Amino acid sequence: AFDRAVELDPISAPIVIKIGRAYIDLAYMELATGLDPVPKLDDAIAAYERAIELRPDLVFGHRGLALALFIKADHLSSRGLDPSAEVQRTLAVCDRLEAIDPDFRWVDLYRGNALMSRALYELVTGEDPRPSLEAAEAAMEASLERIPDDPSSHLNLGLIHTYEARYLIHEGRSGVDATRRSRARFERSGLEDGAQIAALIGAGLNELVAARAVPGGPIDVGALQRAEGWCDRIAAFDPESVYIPLIRAEAHYRRALALPAGGADRRAQIEGGLVQTERARALSPDDATAVLLHGALLRLDGRGVGEDAEAGRALVEQAFEVNPTLRWEWGALLLDGSP
Distances (CA, A) of 293 to 150, 298, 300, 324, 330: 34, 9, 11, 15, 10
Cβ-in-10-Å burial (0-12, 13-18, 19+) of 25 comes to exposed
> Residues 151, 194: contact at Cβ < 8 Å?
no
The amino acid sitting at 48 is Y
Per-residue pLDDT, 17: 86
> Residues 158, 190: contact at Cβ < 8 Å?
no
Backbone angles phi, psi at 209, to 5 degrees: -70, -40
Per-residue pLDDT, 310: 79
Q: Mind listing the pLDDT tens digit of every residue in the chain (339 residues)?
A: 555 555 555 457 778 888 899 999 999 888 877 788 999 999 999 999 988 988 898 899 999 999 999 999 999 998 889 999 999 999 999 999 999 999 999 999 999 999 999 999 999 888 999 999 999 999 999 999 999 888 899 999 999 999 999 999 999 999 999 999 999 999 888 665 545 788 899 999 999 999 999 998 999 999 999 999 999 989 988 899 999 999 999 999 999 988 988 889 999 999 999 999 999 999 988 899 999 999 999 888 655 445 567 788 889 999 998 888 898 888 877 665 444
CA-based end-to-end distance of the chain = 53
Per-residue pLDDT, 191: 62
* Angstrom distance (rounded) from CA 203 to CA 304: 32
